[in-house]
Chains A and B, each alone.
Chain A
């Protein structure tokens, strides 16, 4: 049981390049989330999904797109990277049932845009 995994762990992009971050979970969770974390800013929600084939915008969605074609995967795309998107990106998932709203986080992707 790997939990939540993220690919890649590190990436350096030039301004204007595109890339896709992959998140996978093996816990059969319905809900998946993408956050970015910047120093002193905490975790800010980019996009989330409440089930296969559905996505919704979070707090800071501009410049990002997502897709959830399979229940276990949630992809985050940057079409034209900007230096402001330099950040650590965390994916998380939750079951949507129970009473704790516990989210399980992946190890993060450290992205630098030059």
Chain B
């Protein structure tokens, strides 16, 4: 089967750093994506890793280890507006088939 595992909830305070882990088990793998969804809103793309290593985009970074079937999203200098759900998603094959999403991690940032 195909599955992605990520924590259901994470809490942190403003200014802190938080890491959201994602482990996957899929029949094929072309890359790991991360999406953000604010309450009541549409998911929006954050990052994509096809190769092992760290990708940095501003305060957000994403890491992938293909050998460990593992990745994480790192959020630095947390702000209240970062409170949202974060989904990891696997591209199991080349473009043309849909992503497989994890169940999401709800991040709550407090002051």
User: A: which residues have CB within 8 A of B?
Assistant: 31, 33, 35, 40-45, 48, 50, 58, 90, 92, 94, 96-97, 99-108
Contact = CB atoms under 8 A, between A and B. Distances in A.
A101 B101 contact: no
Interface residues of B, number: 23
Interface string B72-110: 000000000000000100010001111111111000000
A56 B77 CA distance: 42
Contacts, number: 61
A48 B41 CA distance: 21
Contacts of A33: 98
A101 B33 contact: yes
Contacts of B42: 90, 105-108
Interface of B: 8, 30-31, 33, 41-45, 48, 50, 87, 91, 95-104
Contact of A43 (B30, B43, B48): B43
